[in-house]
Amino acid sequence: MADAKVIPFDDDRSRGSGAPRRRNGRRLDAEPGGPGAVQPLPVRGGARDDGPADGTGEPVPPSADSAPGPEPAEPAGSPGQPGAAGPAGSPGPEGAGGAGGLERRVAGGLAFLRRRLTGEYEVDDFGYDAELTDQVLMSLLRPLYEKYFRVEVRGVENIPAEGGALIVANHSGTLPLDGLMAQVAVHDHHPAGRHLRLLAADLVFVLPVVNELARKLGHTLACAEDAERLLARGELVGVMPEGFKGIGKPFGERYKLQRFGRGGFVSTALRQRVPIVPCSIVGAEEIYPMLGNSRTLARVLGLPYFPLTPTFPWLGPLGAVPLPTKWTIQFGEPIRTDGHPPEAADDPMLMFNLTDQVREQIQHTLYKLLVQRRSVFF
């Protein structure tokens, strides 16, 4: 009904002036016999005051037993009521995105702000803020994930629905955007809506602003102690063993995995007896094609490398805008570790073999995804 008044709460105001007046199933403002009039229903045991009772066409005076009782309440959601569903169960004019939905979103936003201002929110001992991550930080990353890089996710069902697991991924792109996109992929596509807790380099936690944001997002220092504590809690932990060697490699070596360290991540997984899930990311290598590295500037600034790309630093801040490449993130079959005895974590040969197995699986998947890719940007 076009002139129905929006009533956000189910109370006595639902009989607002915008709805037509009715009595005994008949609209009082409709012309008798007109298209808007509702034909009266026969009443058993007595006559109605608005229709023939004896078949002669003459109205019968109302009697005591046929006097109309209280006006029957119209069921919520029926046609003519505000918020009624349209044909085939479709939402009415104020569906989820209407005034009622807007009021709920505003109320939720105000409640969120109140909790932030009064300090009535929780962070864990690593500084992870689940509410801020879900409601703010993920919302800021999601347009970059969905619209700019148009990330395609495969194999997310290989991530366990519960319990600890170690996700091991390749690292590239000059700036660590691949880790952030992997976080969004797990959060938005996993059926259980799990969170990925990334292990980050020391440099992340000495940079102003970046340090606080990383902690809020659930990142922690890339050390065995922190990783084991998170895995013991049943968290998903993400690690990129290539480190700066992978993220800062020249464009000519793209998609060629660097050394995976000394296998510390395998030792951590063996101690906690959690599966290792290989993760291959295609698309990040081309966002900042690194053609050179100014080692002098890197030493002056205290950075592991200073990238020289076709646009940076020549175009200034504009050169820091990444290229809109098309990404694919694939999670591979998990490698189980619970079949090994606890002392296996100290076996260097076993750690070497498992590290090489994970690395080869990621490299093979990268080559396969590159063959299937039609274009860097599409």
Q: What is the pTM of this model?
A: 0.72
Taking the C-alpha atoms of residue 183 and residue 217, their distance in angstroms, rounded to an integer, is 9
Taking the C-alpha atoms of residue 252 and residue 290, their distance in angstroms, rounded to an integer, is 8
Which residues are CB-neighbours of 265 under 8 A, at least 6 positions away?
166, 168, 227, 239, 241, 276, 355
Beta-strand runs (E) in the chain: 22-23, 26-27, 152-154, 165-169, 196-200, 220-221, 236-239, 276-282, 292-293, 307-308, 328-331
Taking the C-alpha atoms of residue 258 and residue 170, their distance in angstroms, rounded to an integer, is 9
- Angle, CA 243 vertex, CA 211 and CA 261 arms, to 5°: 135
Residue written as tokens 């050390």? 223
Which residues are CB-neighbours of 1 under 8 A, at least 6 positions away?
18, 19, 80
Give the pLDDT band of residue 342 (cuts 50, 70, 90): confident
- Residue predicted with more confidence, 261 or 147: 147
Taking the C-alpha atoms of residue 156 and residue 328, their distance in angstroms, rounded to an integer, is 12
User: Does residue 359 carry a pLDDT above 90?
Assistant: yes
Q: What are phi and psi for residue 197, nearest 5 degrees?
A: -100, 110
Other CB atoms within a 10 A radius of the CB of residue 298 amount to 15
What are the angstrom distances between the C-alpha of 289 and each of 2, 183, 257, 284, 308? 56, 23, 16, 10, 8
**Residue 109: per-residue pLDDT:** 87
Q: What is the pLDDT of residues 7-42, one digit of tens each?
A: 343 444 333 444 444 444 444 444 444 444 444 444
Taking a C-beta distance cutoff of 8 angstroms, is the pair 123, 156 a contact? no
CATH homologous superfamily for 130-287+322-372? Glycerol-3-phosphate (1)-acyltransferase (3.40.1130.10)
**Residue 98: per-residue pLDDT:** 62
3-state helix, strand, coil in the chain (%, to 5): 40, 10, 50
Taking a C-beta distance cutoff of 8 angstroms, is the pair 272, 231 a contact? yes
Taking a C-beta distance cutoff of 8 angstroms, is the pair 189, 153 a contact? yes
**Residue 86: per-residue pLDDT:** 39
Taking a C-beta distance cutoff of 8 angstroms, is the pair 248, 305 a contact? yes
What is the DSSP pairing of strand 276-282 with strand 165-169? parallel
Taking the C-alpha atoms of residue 322 and residue 144, their distance in angstroms, rounded to an integer, is 10
User: Does residue 47 carry a pLDDT above 70?
Assistant: no
Q: Which two tokens stand for residue 367?
A: 């080559």
List, in sequence order, every residue forming a beta bridge with 238; answer none if it has no partner: 167, 198
**Residue 67: per-residue pLDDT:** 45
**Residue 43: per-residue pLDDT:** 41
Summary mean pLDDT of the chain: 81
Number of alpha helices (DSSP H) and beta strands (DSSP E) in the chain: 10, 11
Amino acid letter, residue 240: M
Q: What is the pLDDT of residues 60-110, one digit of tens each?
A: 444 444 444 444 444 444 433 433 333 333 344 344 456 778 888 888 889
Q: What is the longest distance spanned by two Cα atoms in the chain?
A: 108
